[in-house]
Amino acid sequence: MDRLKIKLCDIQGRLFELSLAAGYESDSFVKAFMTSHLARCLDSEYNRMQWAGEEYLLEELEEEKGNKLQKGEQQYTIDVLYWMGYLYRYWNLYTGESSDKIYRQAPVSVMKRNYMMFHTMDPEMAIGDLKEIYTSKKDRIK
């Protein structure tokens, strides 16, 4: 992964951190972002939003999904939020999968539950393990 792509991961991690300072309930923020037009813009090979800072991205998300962003007490720690944001973007850049497809495989509840185990892993290994969890869960439902 080149330096520019790592920077995009960092910006998204800081955007997720910023949701905490803005007082947004973590579950609704992550879902709103991962299913947003803004996330699709960041998924693109090139989009002007990729050059924006986290403050601007938060403003764009608030404009797009304001009614889906809930203020609340249920907030995750800054470390958990950063890791989620970083890993979700890394996943997109590593596999080419869209943010909403990634979110269907690893919703916020799965990310939160597995943070302690996966946050120190190499991102590619964590992504592989999260995909394996999704596949095994999907297979059990059949």
pLDDT value of position 141? 63
Over the Cα atoms of the chain, what is R_g? 14
Helix, strand, or coil (residue 91): helix
Mean pLDDT, rounded, of the chain: 92
Cα–Cα dist 98/41, whole Å? 10
Per-residue pLDDT of 101-141, as tens digits, reads 999 999 999 999 999 999 999 999 999 999 999 988 766 66
The residue-averaged pLDDT of 76-94 equals: 97
**pLDDT value for 45:** 83
The model's pLDDT over 13-55, given as tens digits with 9 standing for 90+, comes to: 999 999 999 999 999 999 999 999 999 999 988 777 777 789 9
